[in-house]
Structure formats: structure tokens, C-alpha cells
Structure 1
């Protein structure tokens, strides 16, 4: 049993090594081809310019975006992850409720309540307001 346990970690380790080796290998091949001269390195002003939907840019400076978008994106990610956890739970709720009773429902209610407290905090702080 313990042997099977470590075999699973061996598979995860092999997967992680392959996941690291592929990008590192691609970077090494690209750098080697650049040094050898097969991949040309020709810097140009057009390559450094900002590409905006095929149109020429009006100014040369990089413009930032409003920080409110960052707050909205974070709230979206939090609730998106909540939905990722909520769907499998909902699909197995019938089986789990017959086995564990009301504990499963209370556990998910606490999870959703904690997320709603975070949403209320962001709402009262004004992070979701555009005015």
C-alpha cells in the first residue's frame, strides 16, 4: 500500500519535470539558434511599437488602465473559483447528504457565507462603484 502511495508521487514528479523541461528546452533551442545565426536577431522600431488592433498608436507612451478593473477582476476570480467548487458539490449533494446528513449543507453554507462577507466588504468599501 505504501509502495502504491509513493508511485503516485513519482508520476506527479515525472509530470512536473516534463512541464518544466519543455519550456526550458524551447528557450535553450531559441537561444542556441540565435547564437548560431539561424534565427535572425534584427531589432526594429516597428517590433517595439504597441500593436493596437491594426491601427497606428496615437502616442508613444504606454498608458495604464484604471485600477478599478483590477478590483473587479479579483472579485470575479474569487466568485469564479467559488463556482468551480460549487458545481461538483452540487452534483454529489444527493449522495453525500444521504451519507453525512445535514453536515454537508451546513459546510457549504459556511463556505458561501465567508465569500459573501468578502463581497460585502468590497461593496461597502466602494471597490465595486464606478462613480
Structure 2
């Protein structure tokens, strides 16, 4: 029974050896390079790193990001439905269209709510 686990153990050993080897090579090769203050400073797109290291973002940024993910995932749920629509229409009748219409209407209500709350207004 141990023979069945030999390929898995071999793969774990090879992956571990690769990770350790890569880290060791990076440490050895990195020490041999010439060092100076400019190379050791953080790269900030050509600007000197002055000020806070982590700037504060507006909460609106996160809300818009969450809304994007939410509506993006809903589109992912609609894609498989659209693929099997003809097959399910023959099997279940119009109920599949009613379910999808309800799903899209809930999304529409959520979108209108977010719009009315001003979440999608970038000027403020």
C-alpha cells in the first residue's frame, strides 16, 4: 500500500527541494551584487519615498470594488443558465425564465439602490 504514495512523496520532495534551492540561490546571488543606498531604497515609480508608507483610501473605493465583484459574480451565474436554457425550457417550461427574471430583477433593485445611495458617484 505504501507504493501508492511514493509518487506523491516524490513530488513533495521535489517541490520542497526546488523552493529551498531557489531561496538559497537568491540569497547567494543577491549578496554578491554591489550595494548602495539608491539600490536599497524602495522603488516608488521614480519618486523619493517620502510620507506615509500606506496611504489611506476612501471607503467608496472599497464599496465600488465590492459592488463590482458582486455584479461580476452574478454574471458568472447567468452564463451557465444561458447555456442550458433551451434544454431546461423543454423540460420545465417557462419556470426557468421566471426564475432568471426574478434573479435579474433582484440585481436590478440592488443596482438602483446603490445608485440612489450615491455609491457610483465619483465626484464626491
Aligned counterparts, 1:48-127, within 5 A: 49-52=42-45, 55-57=46-48, 59-62=50-53, 63-127=55-119
Instruction: Kindly report structure 1 stretches of 4+ aligned residues shifted beyond 3 Å.
Output: 24-31, 37-41, 44-48
Q: Is there any run of 5+ residues in structure 2 with no aligned partner, and where?
A: 1-7
Structure 2 length as normaliser, TM-score? Answer: 0.62
Number of positions where the alignment pairs a residue of Structure 1 with one of Structure 2? 107
Q: CA deviation at 1:48?
A: 5.6
C-alpha contact 1:122 1:128 (8 A) present in aligned 2:
yes
Separation in 1, partners of 2:60, 2:48: 24
Change (3 A) 1:61 1:119: same
Q: CA deviation at 1:60?
A: 3.5
Change (3 A) 1:97 1:65: same
Q: Is there any run of 5+ residues in structure 1 with no aligned partner, and where?
A: 1-13
1:68-120: per-residue Cα shift (whole Å, max 9, x none)? 22222111111111111111211211111111111111111121122222222
RMSD of equivalent CA atoms: 3.3
C-alpha contact 1:30 1:39 (8 A) present in aligned 2:
no
Q: Which residue of 2 aligns with 1:3?
A: none
SS in structure 1 at match of 2:86: helix
Structure 1 length as normaliser, TM-score? Answer: 0.59
